[in-house]
């Protein structure tokens, strides 16, 4: 899913509530975060990963680029949700070139879409543990309709779409870059406004993925309904910025109710992974996304799963250019930047 040859890219995470943009430079002294910024998306412009108001979203992206003063036009972005299928499959051992020729046939057995309607990619994981004549492959398929939608949006915003990635793989890249001693099974969980991405990696290789349509906006909508207020007012109440609008105890009760449901979803995903790999044990959960900052959620998730939970810091492995970035602000919003930073670390010549 690559459209350009130039190496350097900016990362653009297009969420339903916020758009994040980051630029990372490779230097002899290591990686430098040159610029990072976020901007709110008008309510309803993006729904369930679909661009409902492309002109509005393109204008929002252009506004963020101008605000940050970024000149680079080559961009990596990502998609997720039900339009994306990720399957770990087992096939006969062949070369990468031979698999390239047969992957469409292999995909037909696992993808619930017409293969003519999807873009297909793959990554050879390695040889089968017990059968040397077979190998494990990560199969990825994304609906062409969605890919074209994002390509059109980026071009409308004056950008050159070079890489269309998948959210869970962007998370994996951040994990590889920032957590060098986390061997074994680690669950990478990003929960945003309307979706949760789950990627369980074993020794830095994806072993299980799942997308769930839940997120922080559930709390906002419940508050708006309970106290008959606007979405913006409900968001302020949720963040504790409008304490006179609703009783704090009742707001906390709503937050706890939905946080518990998120925890249930994570536990079900982990239980399913254990059912297919009973010999495995997840050592840690690394949590990211805007909703990761929901008060009490990380503690609740740890209690629900009996697994240690750490909140992701995607900036920890790089130097921050303080000329263009407020370091204190970056630390406050770090968990929201994980997918964006994973995209900003992409280079065009990488598989």
CA angle 93, 96, 99 (to 5 degrees): 70
Within 157-229, strands assigned E span 160-166, 185-191, 196-202, 205-212
Task: Give pLDDT tens digits for 185-214.
Answer: 999 999 999 999 999 998 888 889 999 999
How many whole angstroms from its chain centre is CA 241?
27
Task: Give pLDDT tens digits for 61-115.
Answer: 999 999 999 999 999 999 988 889 998 899 999 999 999 999 988 889 888 888 8
Does residue 181 carry a pLDDT above 90? no
Measured between alpha carbons, how far is 238 from 253 in angstroms, rounded to an integer?
11
Does residue 2 carry a pLDDT above 80? no
pLDDT band at 3 (very low <50, low <70, confident <90, very high): very low
What pLDDT is recorded for position 223?
A: 95
CATH 3.30.1490.300 fits 84-141, yes or no: yes
What pLDDT is recorded for position 115?
A: 87
Measured between alpha carbons, how far is 125 from 88 in angstroms, rounded to an integer?
9
Does residue 5 carry a pLDDT above 50? no
Who contacts 276 (Cβ-Cβ below 8 Å, separation ≥6)?
A: 208
Single pTM value for the model = 0.91
Measured between alpha carbons, how far is 9 from 21 in angstroms, rounded to an integer?
11
Which pair of structure tokens corresponds to residue 84?
A: 């994306």
Residues in the chain: 351
């Amino acid at each position: 899913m690559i459209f350009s040859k130039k190496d350097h890219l900016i990362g653009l995470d297009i969420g339903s509530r916020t758009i994040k943009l980051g630029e990372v430079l490779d230097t002899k002294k290591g990686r430098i975060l040159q610029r990072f910024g976020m901007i709110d998306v008008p309510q309803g412009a993006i729904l369930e990963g679909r661009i409902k108001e492309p002109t509005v979203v393109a204008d929002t992206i252009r506004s963020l680029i101008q605000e940050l003063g970024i000149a680079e036009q080559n961009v990596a972005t990502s998609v997720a949700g039900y339009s994306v299928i990720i399957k770990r499959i087992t096939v006969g051992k062949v070369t990468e070139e031979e698999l390239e020729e047969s992957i469409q046939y292999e995909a037909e057995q696992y993808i619930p879409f017409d293969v003519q309607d999807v873009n297909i990619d793959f990554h050879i994981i390695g040889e089968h543990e017990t059968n040397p004549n077979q190998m494990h492959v990560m199969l990825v398929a994304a609906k062409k309709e969605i890919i074209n939608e994002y390509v059109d949006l980026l071009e409308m915003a004056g950008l050159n779409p070079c890489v269309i990635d998948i959210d869970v793989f962007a998370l994996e890249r951040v994990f590889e870059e920032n957590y060098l001693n986390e061997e074994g099974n680690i669950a990478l969980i990003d929960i945003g406004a309307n979706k949760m991405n789950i990627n369980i990696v074993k020794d830095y290789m994806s072993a299980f993925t799942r997308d769930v349509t839940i997120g922080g906006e559930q709390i906002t909508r419940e508050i708006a309904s309970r106290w008959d207020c606007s979405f913006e007012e409900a968001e302020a109440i949720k963040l504790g910025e409008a304490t006179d609008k609703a009783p704090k105890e009742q707001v906390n009760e709503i937050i706890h109710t939905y946080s518990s449901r998120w925890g249930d979803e994570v536990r079900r995903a982990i239980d399913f992974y254990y059912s297919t790999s009973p010999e495995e044990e997840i050592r840690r959960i690394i949590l990211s996304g805007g909703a990761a900052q929901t008060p009490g959620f990380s503690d609740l998730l740890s209690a629900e799963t009996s697994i240690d939970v750490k909140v992701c810091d995607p900036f920890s492995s790089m130097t921050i250019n303080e000329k263009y970035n407020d370091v204190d602000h970056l630390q406050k919003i770090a968990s929201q930047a994980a997918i964006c930073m994973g995209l900003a670390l992409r280079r065009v010549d990488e598989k």
